[in-house]
């Protein structure tokens, strides 16, 4: 089976591998744990067309999900998601790298609490956490009266005869 990498794509497009990686990242395609992308021939040709078109159109690379939504979506992103069978990102969710979240954690938590807009925290492009606002209303004590006590709460679990220490 034929295999292609970012370097193959960069050579075909006469672009720097870092530029190709940024455009792939902006399409939501990440290599996972390493920096190596590898594709079969059909996916490579489709991605080559997508990335080549983005570079020719001077499309900004590695935009966040929020910026993509504000710009009216990205047809390249939708096509890349269909090529790789990736789920759609929820509309209106901001995507943030874990290092950025770590540096601005308190400010992000405050902003999510005030605006109600969730934030998706990613590591190497893969989601690791989603920061969502707390449920509205008074959630403390919301479950009061919904539990039932079955039996004696203070009785031993075992009969006294079954305890070795009492024998």
Task: Supply the CATH classification number for the domain 93-145.
Answer: 3.40.1620
pLDDT for 87 equals 47
Q: What is the maximal distance between C-alpha atoms in the chain?
A: 85
In 3D space, the residue among 10, 80, 5, 6 whose CA is nearest the CA of residue 46 turns out to be 80
| Helix segments in 57-126, DSSP class H | 65-70, 75-84, 98-103, 105-115
Does domain 1-89 fall under CATH 1.10.3470? My reply is no
pLDDT for 101 equals 92
pTM of the model: 0.40
pLDDT for 104 equals 92
pLDDT for 106 equals 93
pLDDT for 80 equals 57
Q: Which two tokens stand for residue 38?
A: 């590898």
Query: For each of the chain's 167 residues, which pLDDT tens digit applies?
Result: 578 888 888 888 888 888 887 777 777 675 544 445 677 788 888 888 888 888 888 877 755 444 554 555 555 555 555 555 544 455 567 888 999 999 999 999 999 888 888 888 988 878 888 898 877 667 677 788 888 888 888 888 788 788 777 66
What does the domain layout of the chain look like in residue ranges?
Answer: 1-89, 93-145
pLDDT for 47 equals 84
Side-chain-facing half-sphere of 3: CA atoms under 13 Å: 4
Q: Are strands 94-97 and 119-123 parallel, antiparallel or unpaired?
A: parallel
């Amino acid at each position: 089976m034929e295999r292609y990498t970012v370097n193959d794509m960069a050579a075909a497009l006469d672009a720097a591998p870092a530029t190709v990686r940024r455009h792939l990242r902006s399409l939501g395609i990440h290599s996972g744990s390493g920096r190596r992308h590898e594709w079969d021939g059909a996916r490579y040709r489709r991605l080559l067309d997508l990335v080549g078109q983005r570079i020719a159109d001077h499309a900004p690379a590695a935009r966040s999900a929020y910026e993509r939504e504000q710009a009216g979506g990205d047809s390249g992103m939708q096509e890349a998601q269909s090529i790789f069978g990736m789920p759609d990102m929820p509309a209106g969710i901001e995507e943030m790298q874990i290092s950025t979240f770590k540096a601005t954690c308190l400010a992000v938590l405050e902003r999510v609490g005030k605006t109600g807009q969730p934030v998706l925290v990613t590591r190497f492009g893969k989601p690791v956490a989603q920061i969502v606002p707390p449920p509205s209303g008074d959630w403390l004590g919301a479950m009061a009266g919904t539990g039932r006590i079955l039996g004696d709460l203070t009785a031993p679990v075992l009969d006294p005869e079954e305890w070795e220490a009492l024998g």
